[in-house]
Amino acid sequence: MTAEQRRNLHAFRGYVSKILDPTYILSYMTPWFRDDVVQHIQAEKNNKGPMEAASLFLQVLLELQEEGWFRGFLDALHQAGYSGLCEAIESWDFQKIEKLEEYRLLLKRLQPEFKTTINPKDILPEISGCLISQECEEIIQISSNKGLMAGAEKMIECLLRSDKENWPKTLKLALEKEESKFSELWMVEKGAENVQMKDLEDDEMKTLDIQIVYKEEPENQNLSQNPCPSSVPPAYSPLKPRNFQLELALPAQKGKNTIICAPTGCGKTFVALLICEHHLKQFPQGRKGKVVFFAVQLPLYEQQKSAFSEYFERLGYKVSGISGEIADSVSVEQIVENNDIIILTPQILVNSLKDGTIPSLSIFTLMIFDECHNTNKNHPYNMIMFNYLDQKLGGSSDSLPQVVGLTASVGVGDAKNEAEATEYICRLCASLDTSVLTTVRDNLEELEEVFYKPQKFFRKVESRTTDKFKCVISQLMAETEALAKSIFEELGTVTLENLSRIQNRNFGTQKYEQWIIAVQKACMVFQMPDKDEESRICKALFLYTSHLRKYNDALIISEDARMKDALNYLKNFFSNVRAAGFDAIEQDLTQRFEEKLVELEDISVDPSNENPKLKDLCFILQEEYHLNRETRTILFVKTRALVDALKKWIEENPKLSFLKPCILTGRGRTNQTMGMTLPAQKCALDAFRTNRDSKILIATSVADEGIDIAQCNLVILYEYVGNVIKMIQTRGRGRARGSKCFLLTSNADVIEKEQLNICKEKMMNDSISSLQRWNEAVFKEKIHQIQVQEKLIRDNQGKVKPVVDKNNKKLLCGKCKTFACYTADIRVVEECHFTVVRDAFRECFVTKSHPKPKKFGNFEKKSKIFCARKDCLHDWGIHMTYKTFEIPVIKIESFVVEDVATGAQTLYSKWKDFNFEKIPFDAAEMSAGAQDLNLQAMNGLE
């Protein structure tokens, strides 16, 4: 293979990864691939999907030095049936494959309809020539074992990877032959333009094998003066930095620890690339630098890993990365040792320093912290820098890495004046051992040519004058509160009001949410001499408070969205209630709701009850798109529920449906909702970046920091306000010339808070300018004093270690107070999962299939576990396979902890807060227990 062929394959690897399932050709590649590599690639597919497996396959392939492997690869593609891909690689012309992209997008949009209307067995004979033979077998097998919908989903997955240029037309003919209604939607001749975007749920998204390339058009425009077009990858040409970028990079290139503070969209990532390149090239022959780049969010990690790989692998440097998603399946030590640049989510390094996998930060020569303003309190960034500062202040002779921080805003905390703001910034500088604060000063005019600060508009909207929906829900809440109070009247010892100090609570507010959570926690640890009576009362109070919380959620949704959305939220909740325990109390509460349902339905569809905020939002969007049909919008909202509600509102509004909204929410799970999976986040970002039909992205706070999003010229903050850092980050999403930023609210306090943020931004900039005028020696001494002071506080805190409570305790169901296990029965698996080894515990729970089974590391998530009491069914955790063991894994927030000796009861939200004696999981103990069970069974047979 020639060097040019190797470069071309590397350049076109994105196309290959989209199409190739490497497990279909591995048998043809045995002369070049070791058995352990083959197993690794197969495991990658099983755990993460074909695209990640293809990326790994190509990585291994491009590192091969043996003769003949390139010809062997082409022969393998031909033998397996990848004729289109083989042809494209032989000619290095991917235009035919590129032309299929619009049909892939169309199929993704129509995925829900395809799954529900197509019988894959009927059309498979007609389209089998467009698929790999093994794919056809898998579709038949899945259809037989898991049902036609699962088979149709697999067929979609295979078609999205098909390299046959005729597959869209072949699919059309097959659909017409079967007289399928879906053929009306599959518009091969017209392409994808006229098909409305459908709402892709997480479960549907994660089946799509789409390569996500995190490149932001405005960032590219700002990176250099010779940006590349985005179609077929061009021949590489070095990017030329702008003068302001060279100014930002200069102090770090001189070896100084620095925080680079520059606007979102001005190319800070490119500045980091310049710093890295200069750093790695400065080492004399025989010595090598080692760079670690930290990214706080997984989408941001993926984006930066892609940027660094693309830039540095051409220069001969090795780049790799580790995030929490893959940490269990890779060796951190080997990846750090074998690469020049390592992209990490910071917790990976925190864990590795703690367990000794990484002995010291001295193995790195440069650390770069993206979004470095997070370096405070117990953030992983601060944990890493504690290690650094302990080494520095402890007099270690080992060298320390250079530290560079990147941010759009250092923030000012709770500062009320410039002196306090300066102190706050100095503390951030001390945390990052900074000697220079870098901003653009000499090349401001050039920066202003590429960075456009959006115009800011405040729109105060009046709330509904009358709210019939709130009246009805408030009545139901008052009735439910009365039922809860009647329980306390029976007892005569405590009242509902005395359980929380929060006063002046109103229905439909965050304060009521805080109150009801506090009350629910207090009720969970309520105790009585009669334990059966205690169980009855605690369970009743748990149900009443849970319903009150849902009603309050609905009022919050109604306040910001439609009454219809709030009502659907409640209907979904009561549907789930019916499917669970559904005891007498739940039946009574459900009946009360259903008695009001017709009235609520009538109210929710009455046009006179339209939300004035939505009317104003509609006006803003109509006005902006009337002025510019190519407007691109990000709409920021507070909650995931509101994201879903506004998406439905836009799709169902004939004036706005042309916007075809995408959504982006966080990954974490709350008590109320599940987050988006990483593949779903990637899919949403990529769809908004590449699909010009989708003109608006509705997002929570996950989109306001760091993640590169397609160029937007309209940012709308819908009842959305935070601190000065959040204000600068969200405003920075509007990067196009003539951008606008609207804050829309019915609350004057929200506008006042945002105006205060504007004042704080000026205070921050003035403080930075002031610090930049300080004498460097004076600044360094100030930083040193703070570091010494903070280390003294840390050291004193470290001396006070929590006392481990070795007394045995009971775990009771948090809902019905049924006994579950003793702490003596609990074992800790790999320092983070808690299982119960007592055999009798298996009688205490029931299982249901997990909605999202998943493999990670040594674990396989299989089912969810619930309290076995039929009138309870409280969620206790999950059931999983760990190596060869089937184990339950429980979550402490689902239980009440009772001291066996005193009877005192306590709630814990996290295991780390519960200082009981934590015994490590012992495989030998489990094996012995299994043998004892077998012996008992044999004795029983005798």
| pLDDT tens-digit map of 304-336 | 888 899 889 888 899 999 887 677 678 899 999
Let me know if residue 940 belongs to a domain.
no
The H or E element containing residue 744 is strand 740-745
Let me know if residue 88 belongs to a domain.
yes
Residues 829 and 758 in one domain: no
Instruction: Say yes or no to pLDDT of 203 above 60.
Output: no
Instruction: Say yes or no to pLDDT of 723 above 70.
Output: no
Helix, strand, coil fractions of the chain, as percent rounded to 5: 55, 15, 30
640-652 vs 531-560: helix crossing angle, rounded to 10? 40
CA–CA gap between residue 697 and residue 709 (Å, rounded): 9
CA–CA gap between residue 333 and residue 657 (Å, rounded): 51
pTM: 0.65
Ranked by mean pLDDT, which of 111-120, 561-570, 694-703, 734-743 comes out on top?
561-570
Q: Please report, for residues 17, 25, 140, 212, 686, the alpha-carbon distance to residue 50 in angstroms, rounded to integers and kept in the order given.
A: 8, 12, 19, 14, 18
Binding residue positions? 813, 816, 867, 872
| pLDDT tens-digit map of 40-72 | 888 888 877 888 888 888 888 888 877 778 888
CA–CA gap between residue 937 and residue 942 (Å, rounded): 9
The H or E element containing residue 90 is helix 83-91
DSSP string of 585-627, one letter each residue: HHHHHHHHHHHHHHHHHHHHH-GGG--HHHHHHHHHHHHHHHH
Tally of CA atoms within 13 A in the half-sphere of 173 that contains its CB: 10
Amino acid at 777: A
CA–CA gap between residue 461 and residue 425 (Å, rounded): 36
- Mean pLDDT to the nearest integer, 219-233: 37
Range of the domain at 817: 809-935
**3-state DSSP assignment of residue 719:** coil
Residues 647 and 765 in one domain: yes
Q: Is the torsion defined by CA of 285, 287, 293, 299 positive or negative?
A: positive
Residues 595 and 625 in one domain: no
Let me know if residue 438 belongs to a domain.
no
- Give the least confident one: 660-669, 719-728, 773-782: 719-728
DSSP string of 647-693, one letter each residue: HHHHHH-TTTGGG--EEE--S---SS-----HHHHHHHHHHHHH-TT
Instruction: Say yes or no to pLDDT of 704 above 70.
Output: no
Q: Please report, for residues 447, 550, 677, the alpha-carbon distance to residue 681 in angstroms, rounded to integers and kept in the order given.
A: 31, 27, 6
Structure tokens at 218: 């405005």
Higher pLDDT, 698 or 396: 698
**pLDDT confidence band for 478 (50 / 70 / 90):** very high
Domain with residue 47: its CATH number is 1.10.533.10
Residues 26 and 119 in one domain: no
Residues 641 and 763 in one domain: yes
Let me know if residue 722 belongs to a domain.
yes
Q: Please report, for residues 42, 216, 266, 665, the alpha-carbon distance to residue 690 in angstroms, rounded to integers and kept in the order given.
A: 30, 10, 21, 19
Strand order across the beta sheet in which 859-867 lies: 845-856, 859-867, 875-882, 885-890, 833-836, 826-829, 919-920
Residues 752 and 718 in one domain: yes
- Long-range Cβ pairs for the range 62-69 (8 Å, 24+): 62/6, 62/9, 62/10, 62/13, 64/32, 66/31, 66/32, 68/31, 69/1, 69/32
Residues 35 and 121 in one domain: no
Q: Given 162, 186, 210, which residue is the final one in a domain?
A: 186
Binding residue positions for Zn(2+)? 813, 816, 867, 872
Mean pLDDT score of the chain, rounded to an integer? 83
- For the stretch 217-255, what's the b/e string if a residue is b when 16 or more beta carbons lie within 10 angstroms of its beta carbon? bbbbbbbbeeeeeeeebeeeeebebbebbebbbbbbbee
Residues 563 and 627 in one domain: no
The H or E element containing residue 96 is helix 95-99
Let me know if residue 192 belongs to a domain.
no
Q: Counting Cβ atoms within 10 Å, is residue 857 exposed (0-12), middle (13-18) or buried (19+)?
A: middle
Q: Given 74, 92, 110, which residue is the final one in a domain?
A: 92
Instruction: Say yes or no to pLDDT of 632 above 60.
Output: yes
R_g of the chain computed on alpha carbons: 30
Let me know if residue 942 belongs to a domain.
no
| pLDDT tens-digit map of 924-934 | 777 655 444 44
Q: Where are the alpha helices (DSSP H) in 418-528?
A: 418-431, 444-450, 468-491, 510-524
**pLDDT confidence band for 814 (50 / 70 / 90):** very high
The H or E element containing residue 75 is helix 69-80
Give the per-residue pLDDT at 301.
Answer: 84
- Mean pLDDT to the nearest integer, 112-130: 84
Which residues are CB-contacts of 87 (< 8 A; sequence separation ≥ 6)? 96
**3-state DSSP assignment of residue 887:** strand
Instruction: Say yes or no to pLDDT of 709 above 80.
Output: no
User: What value, to the nearest 5°, has the Cα angle with vertex 873 and ends 867 and 875?
Assistant: 75
Domain with residue 287: its CATH number is 3.40.50.300
Residues 24 and 101 in one domain: no
The H or E element containing residue 853 is strand 845-856
CA–CA gap between residue 560 and residue 907 (Å, rounded): 33
- Give the least confident one: 490-504, 553-567, 602-616, 879-893: 490-504
Let me know if residue 508 belongs to a domain.
yes
Residues 537 and 482 in one domain: yes
Q: Residue written as tokens 């503070």?
A: 261
Let me know if residue 237 belongs to a domain.
no
How many structural domains comprise the chain?
A: 6
Higher pLDDT, 34 or 361: 361
| pLDDT tens-digit map of 755-809 | 888 888 899 999 999 999 999 899 999 999 999 999 998 888 766 677 888 889 9
CA–CA gap between residue 102 and residue 188 (Å, rounded): 10
Residues 720 and 861 in one domain: no
83-91 vs 69-80: helix crossing angle, rounded to 10? 150
Give the per-residue pLDDT at 232.
Answer: 41
CA–CA gap between residue 653 and residue 641 (Å, rounded): 18
The residues pairing with 370 across neighbouring beta strands, listed in sequence order, are 406
Residues 297 and 325 in one domain: yes
CA–CA gap between residue 481 and residue 506 (Å, rounded): 13
Tally of CA atoms within 13 A in the half-sphere of 658 that contains its CB: 10
In whole angstroms, what separates CA 296 from the centre of its chain? 11
Whether 613 contacts 642, CB under 8 Å = no
Q: Given 92, 121, 155, which residue is the final one in a domain?
A: 92
Query: In degrees rounded to 5, what are phi and psi of residue 671?
Result: -65, -20
Whether 596 contacts 604, CB under 8 Å = no
CA–CA gap between residue 374 and residue 377 (Å, rounded): 9
In whole angstroms, what separates CA 11 from the centre of its chain? 29
Whether 13 contacts 53, CB under 8 Å = no
CA–CA gap between residue 222 and residue 217 (Å, rounded): 9
